[in-house]
Structure 1
């Protein structure tokens, strides 16, 4: 094929990719751009593929494409802009700002670059301010709450809710809060939320503080079992339940969370639920989801469990909406209380000594054991570190190829079926259960049946076509654990779009 014909064919493929990008079919767009690159690599083709990867939040792949675009044409400003957006998605704001300032030095009137520069500088100032506050505070924000002088608002919310008994005990510098939660309170709270109302602030602070205390007393690796399991250790929980239901990401989709309980059964002493992280951000009812799960934890402490996800962290909450949502509906101080409660969340759950559940996935080393997870000191850092077991439990993803490779996200890594097999054999496990990624069918079993991804936010962000799914674990008369997956569709919600509280998307 002549040079002209090759370029013409590549341009046709690029046009098809552009059409798919407009239709928001990013996988097809990436495929067409890749075909164009294989025929005739250009800075434009790499930049376009970077944009499609940004839309899929594959920021690591987008960064690679942007770098290739810049190498091919150092004068191509879109390459620098795409790289800046990829850096911002990876929470590398200083690198992002450096690229944006380069763009503006060549094109000072570029509106998108000026907007991104403004938002990045705002984000960097906010982070510096919050870091300064953290340095000044040597005490827990929860320990500083003064419930005695905190008045309930005399509003419609107060009148519609039952009394909430709040108990305070003080031990040295610690303040311990407990709440006598009732099923009646939760029912009325749900109806309040459906009417677009918020909790009285004193109730909100008490629920977060009391739930954080429960999480604080749990291990980094929570261990659950079901009746009849003779191998259950003394520290196993959920001993009265007949079933454990594992839910993946719910991302502030409050009405879909209500549907989960309506479709698969309520939390009770006979039915345990485990929510596997990412219950906030993106969806515009993250406060409501958090308060519902926290209240259920207070009512059924041995039958409602939550693993930490990568979105139960400050840097993600600043970008994807939860921090702004809490400020809009309540106060910035309440967000700081939520943040501290997230720091108390366990990192992983072991069910029946057979199913290891974590939000992200496996590790950069084959030497990791369950004891390593048990021994994580999650109170050592205010936020999860950017490397090590905690980061990998929150961020890593499976891949079909053997071995390990860099993450498409730009954070963490990807691990293959051989890694999963070795880990299961080393730790005597039947299966790894994780979430963290959309699956069109709601769930997917991979790695020769040893790994399952469960995602519980159907019609994700009102844009994906995916189902939601849960995994039910039971213990049979054959004295064995069994898993079963159920799917469900999205239900209608009020006319508030996802990301309604994401003020600054930082270009992506």
Structure 2
């Protein structure tokens, strides 16, 4: 009877998977495994659902278990290769892609992924070899003053200051697939790079009476959904501030439009419009998940490089009213870390977050329901439990931490007894997850007010359209 039960549970998991309800799919596959833990396909099915949730570490573990049960199970090598590729472990992925291609030579997709992965390994080695500690800025030699905007350009001009007219025109241009003139792109990025470079690693802000602050999570290149937030909730203004909590770019195919619009608002309202860095405002993620390719396609490589410099300058956290620490990922491997440690962190010494340390943890970690700390389901960083969050909030006199970094089916989730709030603002994420988006409004009472919203239609350009050789576009 247990075997029949297990198959029935797996089928329910398949139905949930088809409905793009990844958490329910994982739940059913887990129950199937409880009923029969010797069937490798249950593990590969769950691995695929984990991949959809970006829980790549769990996917690698499941695929490895399936291989342990059946060394000739090609699908398990395929899943493990996909998950390792996703977390940029190209050398590990190559090993599995090679096995898949050998066992299944007719699989054209696997062959393409194998070749793309080989290119990635070579490119990673090349970039490491030419890395210079104090490389000159990509803006060096740019003569913006004498850069001509052709008379054929049909947009509002940008002078010395950002204007509402320019922003309004930019919003409409981007809706219709038009680009900004490169001169204006350079101007915007370089201006905002200077503004954010001079902000502290943890920005501290208070909400004055009569004003409002909206906190948004990942927007991931979903430009039309970003405009929906503004339509529903109001555009940024002198009395209505916004905080975007990282991952503006990658995956969605309007990442440059989002980054430029957010940067234009940052220039317009430098003291009430805030941007935290996310794990996707980093070079290796941008190379894999589309932003580099998009910048090259729409503008040029120099635009990407200057964006990269500006991402490195972004603050890593924002403290709202001394009550809410807002950062992209989450908490730390060490209970002794305090707000003062974040204040003291010199982010300018380290442009990319690396594989360990405070910056990496701020950008990559996730909450877990169990107490203590655990290995990351992503395969990068770690997970922290409710007791860790409670101790951190008590030690730093905080009500809660606000973080993003993970899809939530309702757009947001309050967990860890109210001390940990996740907000995610990319509804129908990647056109394939049936989640809502959300944002949080605060006034000077500092009580969070949650708002959900649905995805809106967008032009027919798929997510990951500019990703490296279509890697991970599956």
TM-score w.r.t. the length of structure 1 is 0.87
Residue 222 of structure 1: how far off its partner (Å):
0.4
- Cα contact 1:248–1:275 (8 A) shared by 2: yes
Shift of 1:267: 1.9
Alignment of 1:79-158 (within 5 A): 79-135=76-132, 138-155=135-152, 158=153
Residue 12 of structure 1, CA deviation: 4.2
Cα displacement string for residues 236-262 of structure 1 (whole angstroms, at most 9, x for unaligned residues)? xxxxx7221111111112122222223
**1:430-441 counterparts in 2 under 5 A?**
430-441=399-410
In the TM superposition, what whole-angstrom CA distance separates every residue of 1:453-479 from its partner, at most 9, and x where no partner exists? 111122222333322222122224xxx
Is 1:34 matched up with 2:34? Answer: no
SS at match of 2:336: coil
> Do the aligned partners of 1:119 and 1:506 also contact (CA within 8 Å) in 2?
no
8 Å CA contact 1:153, 1:201 repeated in 2? no
- Does the 8 Å contact 2:325/2:400 carry over to 1? yes
- For each residue in 1:121-151, what CA deviation from the matched residue of structure 2 results, as whole angstroms up to 9, or x when unmatched? 1222333444455439721213342324533
Contact 1:116 1:507 in 2 (8 A): no
CA distance in 1, matches of 2:228, 2:73: 49
- Aligned equivalent of 1:470: 439
Tell which deviates more after alignment, 15-24 or 248-257: 15-24
Question: 8 Å contact 1:246–1:472 — kept in the other structure?
Answer: yes
1:69 matched to 2:66: yes
1:402 to 371, 378, 385: 371
Q: Does 1:448 align with 2:417?
A: yes
**Partners of 2:336 and 2:464 in 1: CA distance:** 40
Partner of 1:485: 450
Q: Give deviations 1:384-409, integer Å, cap 9, x for gaps.
A: 12111111111111122211111111
| Residues 274-353 of structure 1: pairs in structure 2 closer than 5 A | 274-353=243-322
Residue number in structure 2 paired with 1:25: 21
- 5+ residue gaps, structure 2: none
Q: Which residue of 2 aligns with 1:273?
A: 242
Structure 1: gaps of 5 or more residues: 166-178, 229-240
In the alignment, is the contact (CA less than 8 A) between 1:120 and 1:506 conserved in 2?
A: no
Q: In structure 2, do the counterparts of structure 1 residues 388 and 196 end up closer, same or farther at CA, with 3 Å as the change threshold?
A: same
Give 1:22 deviation, angstroms: 3.9
CA distance in 1, matches of 2:104, 2:453: 49
Output the aligned Cα RMSD: 2.1
CA distance in 2, matches of 1:378, 1:88: 27
Q: 1:494 aligns with which of 445, 459, 469?
A: 459
CA contact (8 A) 1:308 1:394 kept: yes
* Equivalent residue number for residue 154 of structure 2: 159
Alignment partners' CA distance in 1, 2:301 and 2:56: 29
What is the rounded CA distance, in whole Å, between the counterparts of 1:351 and 1:20 in structure 2? 38
Corresponding residue of 2:214: 245
* Alignment partner, residue 505 of structure 1: 471
Measured at CA, do residues 506 and 123 of structure 1 come closer, stay the same or move farther in structure 2, by a change above 3 Å?
farther
Secondary structure in structure 1 of the residue aligned to 2:393: helix
Q: Report which stretch shifted further, 131-140 or 213-222.
A: 131-140
Task: Give the Å deviation of 1:19.
Answer: 4.4
CA distance in 2, matches of 1:414, 1:281: 23
Q: Distance in 2 between matches of 1:466 and 1:48?
A: 21
Please give the alpha-carbon distance, in whole angstroms, between the structure 2 residues aligned to 1:485 and 1:292.
24
Counterpart of 1:159 in 2: which secondary structure? coil
Q: 1:344 to 1:466 in 2, by over 3 A?
A: same
| 1:84–1:492 CA distance, 2 compared to 1 (3 A) | closer
TM-score normalised per structure 2: 0.93
CA gap 1:106/1:368 in 2 versus in 1, 3 angstroms: same
- Give deviations 1:166-213, integer Å, cap 9, x for gaps: xxxxxxxxxxxxx41111111111121122110111111111111111
Structure 1 residues 464, 52: closer, same or farther in 2, change over 3 A? Answer: closer
